[in-house]
Structure 1
Amino acid sequence: DLDDLSAWSTLFADYAILQPFDQLGRATYTPGDGVLAGLIGTTLPYGAVRGLARGAWSPWQDSWIATFVRPAGEGEVRLHLEPGFPASGDEPEDQRIREVELVDVAAWEDVPPVVYSEVVRDLARAAG
């Protein structure tokens, strides 16, 4: 909870503990904040798109990649990109977020909060 977060943040600051990656200050998102909807249509650099596969995202493997997927509770999230790119990576081109789709989950509110927040965080970071 936020009280625990504040206490841990203070303790880390008091002892000048540096975090190797975003932990206590990590950005969080909720379905009602509108951030995910605002990312639709955003252009992502090709390198950032390929970088999604280093995390929880997997390219929908085919000779042409235009979709990445990641687990979301009982279902999955599909990130649809335009124009897509060859799996060989021979023709790198920036990609536009066309759609972020839920599969086998009724609504974003049904996605575990941490998963939802990480989906938005991943896409926002990729967008720069």
Structure 2
Amino acid sequence: DATAFRVAEDGTCADVHDNAFVLPEDARVTIPHPLRFDLAPWGEVFADYELLQPFEQLARPVYPLTDDERGATRLARFSGKTVDFRRIMGMTSRGWELGEKEDGGFRRQVMLMTPDGKHVMAFFSPGIRVIAPEEFAEQDFRDVIVLSGRHSGTTIPFGDLDPAVASEVIADLTRLTS
């Protein structure tokens, strides 16, 4: 069972109610996504103690799926946007991988494996030519799908993604296409 805590001024751990919290020796500490815990009480703690966050966490933007998107097997909100190939290649710094080379040496997708083994694929055209990527600098963003496994499997609805993972995928694609 996960417990949210902060490191108090004296170096001990405290929960949202300022009760002492002893971190178990075998604990795995992660940074919670705003969709996974109640933000309001923690916002009050941070305000009361005038704590500054070293990076966006409590106020981190979240991108929930719409009702229609949860049931859809294709995410169309980015379709038709034009993207410079360098921005697509920059997705690799966020954990995405360029797709395999296709006919003519083109790569036409970026892919992301989710922590639970699902495979998000975003497609664009005409594709990035490996030997001369600037030849087709502008790429038309097509659509996004989720597969139940790497490079294969069944196309599944976006609602099958963990909500925090879906939010981060949409955040990455929003940065890419804006």
Band of TM-score, shorter chain: 0.7 to 0.9
- Aligned match of 1:17: 52
- CA distance change for structure 1 residues 11 and 89 in 2, over 3 Å: closer, same or farther? farther
TM-score, normalised via structure 1 length: 0.80
5 Å-filtered alignment, 1:1-128, equals 4-14=38-48, 15-20=50-55, 22-32=56-66, 36-62=75-101, 63-72=105-114, 73-88=116-131, 90-91=133-134, 93-104=137-148, 105-128=155-178
Question: What is the rounded CA distance, in whole Å, between the counterparts of 2:106 and 2:36 in structure 1?
Answer: 44
% same residue: 26
Higher Cα radius of gyration: 2
Question: What is the rounded CA distance, in whole Å, between the counterparts of 1:7 and 1:32 in structure 2?
Answer: 26
Letter of the 2:113 partner, please give it.
P
Question: What is the rounded CA distance, in whole Å, between the counterparts of 1:81 and 1:121 in structure 2?
Answer: 18
Letter of the 2:88 partner, please give it.
V
Question: What is the rounded CA distance, in whole Å, between the counterparts of 1:53 and 1:117 in structure 2?
Answer: 18
- CA distance change for structure 1 residues 90 and 98 in 2, over 3 Å: closer, same or farther? closer
Aligned-residue RMSD, C-alpha: 2.5
Question: What is the rounded CA distance, in whole Å, between the counterparts of 2:176 and 2:39 in structure 1?
Answer: 26
Question: What is the rounded CA distance, in whole Å, between the counterparts of 2:137 and 2:47 in structure 1?
Answer: 42
* Kept in 2: contact 1:81–1:95 (CA 8 A): yes
The CA deviation string for residues 63-117 of structure 1, in whole angstroms up to 9 with x for no partner, is: 3211111113342111101121122454161222111012125211111111111
- CA distance change for structure 1 residues 88 and 53 in 2, over 3 Å: closer, same or farther? farther
How far the C-alpha of 1:10 sits from its partner, in A, is 3.4
Task: Indicate the structure with greater helix content.
Answer: 1
Question: What is the rounded CA distance, in whole Å, between the counterparts of 2:57 and 2:98 in structure 1?
Answer: 26
* Kept in 1: contact 2:36–2:164 (CA 8 A): no
* Kept in 2: contact 1:61–1:87 (CA 8 A): no
Count of aligned residue pairs for this structure pair: 127
Which has the higher relative contact order, 1 or 2, with Cα contacts under 8 A spaced 6 or more apart?
1
* Kept in 1: contact 2:78–2:142 (CA 8 A): no
